[in-house]
Structure 1
Amino acid sequence: MIQDKEQCTIKVTLENEGSFQYEKGISLEEISYDFQKNEPYQIVAAIVDNQLRELSYSLNEDCDIKFINECSPIGARIYQRSLSFIFIRACMELFSGCRVSVEHSLSKGLYCEVHYKRQIDEADTQRIEYRMKEIVEEDVPLTKNRIPVDEAIDIFREYGQMGKVNLMKYREKPYINIYQCGWLKNYFYGYMVPSTRYMKKFELKFYSPGIIIQLPIKEADGQIPNFEEQPKLFKVFRETEKWGEILEIDHVATLNDLIVTRKEGEFIRIAEALHEKKIAQIADTITEHIDEKKLILIAGPSSSGKTTFSKRLEIQLKVNGLKPVSISLDDYFVNREDTPLDDKGEFDFEALNAIDLELFNRDLKRILAGEEVEIPTFNFHLGKREYKGNKIKINKDQPLILEGIHCLNDKLTESIPRNKKFKIYISALTQLNIDEHNRIPTTDTRLIRRLVRDSKFRSNDANRTLFLWQSVRRGEEKNIFPFQEEADVMFNSALFYELSILKKYAEPLLRQVDTTSPYHAEAKRLLKFLNYFVNLEKEEDVPKTSILREFIDGGSFH
């Protein structure tokens, strides 16, 4: 029997493209073929009626679609995840019995380690890359199957992936979605591309003792960017890994075990003590060089805990007999009418030229020379600087502390020679991962911190924070990350236990992001991510001086 044509077709409306008729049951991948030519980058997924969907998803009713490419924030995660799967398979085929761990981002790529009976070297890296390219050319489907948790545990145990085995203890649902690439089955937090042929752009870089998977990025026009060394950042990641060994924690399941068995108290105290020890070491280094380096510059991305860190550093400097003085960059904003505009014609308060560099450098030079200087106060209501008799004069045992997004950029303090500055970079560089192959991005930790803080102290709901986050991230990429290797020291403000506490604050906020919001897919992703953690309800073990208090309240610093 021939059905009516209207019953066999659906209307698909694409953003910026118009509406089109397709047969019912058509996949997003098939539709993407018609529009790939209009996309500068590879399509890897789609938003369907405000829900993130894999390209394998079939359509059976009228809908609105927005395709996601490899260089968008969502698409980049899908591309990276899919490529990690191919990397893991290639390593397991070439080095029988090896374990692969996906560690953290580094130099615009993904740092991984291959744990084998001998050290992996440059030649091994080339072999892995060649095998990966073979798998890509074979166009192997990446298929998803729902299986019982018990069956998944058997698979993980066979591969020696005990992080995944232990994580399954805390899974509430009796089933789990497993991806398959040829013979290899694995679990990944998030979606994949339909097949390996989508992953044509990548390079491997041997970076002892591991390997960096280099990925295409928007800033390089969808190509692999030039490799830039980040030895200081890498050193901090290695240091954090050592901290994990001290705390005897590697993956989320280990942290969950501590909370369930009520052993989190000592764990929190040790984690906080490691922070305090590091801050004290930084203060000792500053004290040793106080005669030649009186200007302390602190910078880091949003929600790194800069305010609390600065206060704790001041205390440690006072312990060493110094009397630090702080000034605020905000007081040197140009008057509102002179503020530079961004590409949307709005005030760009994060631009370097939003600061009166000439006045600031003139005052800074005089202050460090021991002169008494009257510094301005910026009236945010009127949008202009005012002088209210606020004077500063420092002596030989008084370092000047300055905190702000541009502090690692020498253009901010160009009147002061480089050897007279002590630069500190701070960020929440997460080392605790979900399991062997699913990492916790640093940006996710900071975003969850900011969601909680914005709700508590700025009356912003999750929609507002997620909207602002896009602009914040652009500002970080432009004004902070290019200068992080300029730092004399780096401080990792991440706390291994923090997401277990932040969870109970963040989840209700994220659940308020309804299905009509443009940020629904992101809120849903973060909720799924937080679901891996067991709630840490008791907060009395968190010190009032903890960086975490900057976000959950109850701290000593304001």
Structure 2
Amino acid sequence: METRQINVMGKMVEIAEGATFADVAKDFSGMVNGPIMLARQKNKLRELHQKIRTCDDVTFYGIENDEAMRVYRRGVLILMTKAVYELWGSESLVVVEHSLQKNLYCEIRKPEMEMTEEVLAKIEGKMREYVAADLPICKRTMRKEDAREIARRQGMPDKDELFRYRRASNVNLYELDGFYDYFYGYMPPATGNLKVFSLMAYENGFLIRFPDPKQPEVLREFSNPKKISSVFLEQMHWCQLMGVKNVAELNHTLTQGKFGDLIRINEALHEKKIAEIADMIHQRLDKVRVVLIAGPSSSGKTSFANRLCIQLQVLGIQPHKISLDDYFVERDKTPVDENGKRNYEHIQALDLPLLNDDLKKMIAGELVDLPTYNFVTGKREYNGNRIQAKKGEILVLEGIHGLNDMLTSEIPAEQKFKIFISAMTQLNVDDHNRISTSDSRLIRRIVRDYQFRGRDAATTIGQWNDVTDGEAENIFPYQENADAIFNSATIYELSVLKQYAEPQLFAIGEDQPEYITAKRLIKFLGYFLAAPGTEIPNNSLIKEFVGGSCFKV
């Protein structure tokens, strides 16, 4: 039998002709965290069932790698969807709604079914049967019409409609022991390595819990994020009001000429929610003096702050906006990370004593000369920006540390009103393929960075892991401290952002490290029909990214 030598994980290995990545991976399982889920050759990801066709170096990824963890999650999902289908048939519609702390919240839309521990035990028991049997998960390429017929037969009208808008003539379905499902993204070759998961009753459905990438033999810790969960449930209600819960239904609004109506309903829901938050502040006006707005990158914090200030003025409250960026310490005093790089997202990158001293003076009604940070020189300046807040007026601060009490440690808790904002999308590709909130924000940032900050998509993608690491440390641990949460996601935005983002993503070459992410986002955006943004009002948060906002953003 013909063989060839290939460098695998730094070791020269004799590879037989026709060997798959899975065949070779068996000898390298101890070199990654958790089970191997994915391979990489040159700058392309490879599913493990694929044959090794070139002599390029091979790297295997365990679940500590984000892309490999996505593969693991998809593998567990097909276990769950097959189990539900096998137990209750094609009329048992199972829907993956959203992610909570990296776990997936699901519901079974069978009216007479109560989500009991007994029901969950049946589903999980079936899933573990499939794992024990180490069943193959096979990719099947077929004509679009045949895939639509399978979707209809298995009670998946969402996939039937999704394929209707597919431009390619073929569709890849994954088969697990006679059951077919569709997932956008790679899958594991078999069920045997999908051992660590659990189902847990939650709200009206259940959570699928997944392993901790750092400790792959144990489940990721879960602390019940009740406030965030309530926002997702509210967004589910919004989707029902708008009649759009997946990409196919969004595309349908475009083909039926109803996209403008969708925009107007979505923006009205946003305005109503902002008005409700302003009312909450008004009800506590006897005590609240400082409003703190925090959220991850590309959440639309600046536009939200401006719209909130307008709603406060409607209620007779005079707001004073203060930028936390102006309270950076001088550049040579900025904390550094373990690599010696200045960490502008560390809370000590802000001059906390000065901030607290200025806030206390403004709350007391004193005239305060506010600083302006010069990002060119890295020094603080005073340019005559003065504030004297009268009784009943509100200070509005926006920045990533707003929910962390360390930021405003000298301000009494009852004087603060905290708002968490994030783009927590509820729109899904279909019932089994959710849209990542992080991917939605990344697409927003790619568009904004290119339009207004002179950065190409490769630069934005290259910095994204650092951004999300900072958010995980400085924002998300404090989100449940918020007095109010605003979901800035819109149902319609990806149809509009698509036409701005795609040219930038296609500009990333196959030899660039950002190509893998760009390829995934291009495939994702391919599900959407493009829509013009002409009917988006100029105070919309989306205008912060595509341009034309009436606010200084």
| TM-score, normalised relative to structure 2 | 0.97
1:552 corresponding residue in structure 2: 546
- Once the two structures are overlaid, the 10-residue window that deviates more, 414-423 or 500-509, is 414-423
Q: What's 1:123 paired with?
A: 118
- Letter in structure 1 aligned against 2:363: L
Q: For the Cα contact (< 8 Å) 2:93–2:155, is it kept in 1?
A: yes
Tell me the distance in 2 between the aligned counterparts of 1:310 and 1:490: 13
Match of 1:467 among 457, 462, 465: 462
Find 1:46's aligned residue among 39, 49, 55.
39
Query: Which of 423, 428, 431 does residue 426 from structure 2 map onto?
Result: 431
Cα deviation digits, residues 490-517 of structure 1 (max 9, x gap): 1111111110011111110000111101
Between the aligned partners of 2:54 and 2:436, the Cα distance in structure 1 is 35
Cα distance in structure 2, aligned partners of 1:422 and 1:13: 57
Question: Deviation string for 1:262-315 (max 9, x for gaps)?
Answer: 121111111111111111111111111111111101011110000101111111
User: For residue 213 of structure 1, what is the aligned residue in structure 2?
Assistant: 208
Letter matched to residue 317 of structure 1: L
> Is contact 1:10–1:23 with CA below 8 Å preserved after alignment?
yes
Hey, what's the Cα distance between the residues in 1 that align with 2:123 and 2:491? 32
Structure 1 distance, partners of 2:164, 2:53, is: 36
- Structure 1 match to 2:234: 239
1:450, distance to aligned residue in structure 2 (A): 0.5
Instruction: Measure the CA separation in 2 of the matches of 1:54 and 1:178.
Output: 14
1:240, CA displacement in angstroms? 0.7
- 2:210 and 2:41 map into 1 onto residues whose CA distance is 26
Report whether the alignment pairs 1:527 with 2:522.
yes
**In 2, distance between residues paired with 1:437 and 1:40?**
26
Contact 1:142 1:179 in 2 (8 A): yes
Aligned partner of 1:553: which letter?
A: G
Q: Partner of 2:178 in structure 1?
A: 183
Residue equivalent to 2:387? 392
Alignment of 1:486-497 (within 5 A): 486-497=481-492
**AA of the residue aligned to 2:472:** E
| Partner Cα distance (1:40, 1:434) in 2 | 30
Tell me, which stretches of 5 or more residues in structure 1 are unaligned?
A: none
Given that 1:216 and 1:223 are in contact with CA atoms closer than 8 Å, whether structure 2 keeps it comes out as yes
Matched, 1:296 2:301: no
Name the counterpart of 1:107. Answer: 101
Kindly indicate whether the alpha-carbon contact (under 8 Å) linking 1:10 and 1:61 is maintained by their aligned counterparts in 2.
Answer: no
Q: Which amino acid aligns with 1:88?
A: T
1:88-487 superposed matches below 5 A: 88-96=81-89, 97-116=91-110, 117-218=112-213, 220=215, 223-487=218-482
Q: Does 1:21 align with 2:52?
A: no
Contact 2:33–2:214 under 8 Å retained in 1: no
How far did 1:330 drift? Answer: 1.3
Query: Equivalents in 2 of 1:175, 1:315: separation in Å?
Result: 51
Residue 71 (structure 1) aligns with: 64
What is the alpha-carbon distance in structure 2 between the residues aligned to residue 222 and residue 343 of structure 1?
A: 28
Distance in 2 of aligned mates of 1:277 and 1:142: 46
**Per-residue deviation, residues 100-152 of structure 1 (Å, max 9, x unmatched):** 10111013311111122222122222222222112111111111110111111
Which amino acid in 2 is paired with 1:23?
A: A
Q: Secondary structure at the match of 2:540?
A: coil
Rounded Cα–Cα distance in structure 1 between residues aligned with 2:43 and 2:282: 54
State how far apart, in whole Å, the 2-side matches of 1:228 and 1:104 are: 16
- 2:509 maps to 514
Structure 1 residues 361-396: Cα deviation after superposition (integer angstroms, max 9, x where no partner) = 122222222222222222222222223343221112
SS of equivalent residue, structure 2 residue 485: strand
Q: Distance in 1 between matches of 2:239 and 2:425?
A: 11
Q: Which amino acid aligns with 2:546?
A: I
8 Å contact from structure 2 (residues 63, 216) kept in 1 = no
Q: Distance in 2 between matches of 1:407 and 1:130?
A: 44
Distance 1:12 1:419 in 2: 64
What CA distance in whole angstroms lies between the structure 1 residues aligned with 2:5 and 2:82?
A: 40
Q: Deviations over 1:386-425 (max 9, x none)?
A: 2334322111221100100110111111111222211111
The answer as to whether partners of 1:71 and 1:222 remain within 8 angstroms in 2 is: no
CA deviation after TM superposition for structure 1 residue 60, in Å: 2.5
Q: Distance in 1 between matches of 2:470 and 2:140?
A: 40
Equivalent-residue separation in structure 1 for 2:190 and 2:169 (angstroms): 27
Report the TM-score when normalising by structure 1.
0.96
Does the 8 Å CA contact 1:291/1:396 hold for their aligned counterparts? no
Q: Secondary structure at the match of 1:197?
A: coil
Name the residue aligned to 1:58. Answer: 51
Partner of 2:6: 12
Question: Residues of 1 paired with 2:54 and 2:368: CA distance?
Answer: 70
Q: Structure 1: how far apart are the matches of 2:318 and 2:399?
A: 20
CA offsets, 1:467-492, max 9 Å, x none? Answer: 01110010111111111111111111
Q: Could you give the per-residue CA deviations for residues 215-261 of structure 1, whole angstroms, max 9, x where no partner exists?
A: 11335566312221011111111111111111111211111111112
Whole-angstrom distance in 2 between the partners of 1:308 and 1:219: 37
Secondary structure of residue in 2 paired with 1:43: coil
SS at match of 2:218: coil
Question: Structure 2 regions of 5+ residues with no counterpart?
Answer: none
Q: Work out the percentage of aligned pairs sharing the same amino acid.
A: 43
Distance across 1 between alignment mates of 2:525 and 2:395: 40
Matched residue SS, 2:188: coil
Deviation of 1:180 (Å)? 0.8
Asked if the contact 1:11–1:61 (Cα under 8 Å) also holds between the matched residues in 2, the reply is no
Quote the Cα distance in structure 2 between the aligned partners of 1:166 and 1:216.
33
Report the Cα offset of residue 182 of structure 1.
Answer: 1.1
SS at 1:471's partner residue? Answer: helix
8 Å CA contact 1:24, 1:61 repeated in 2: no
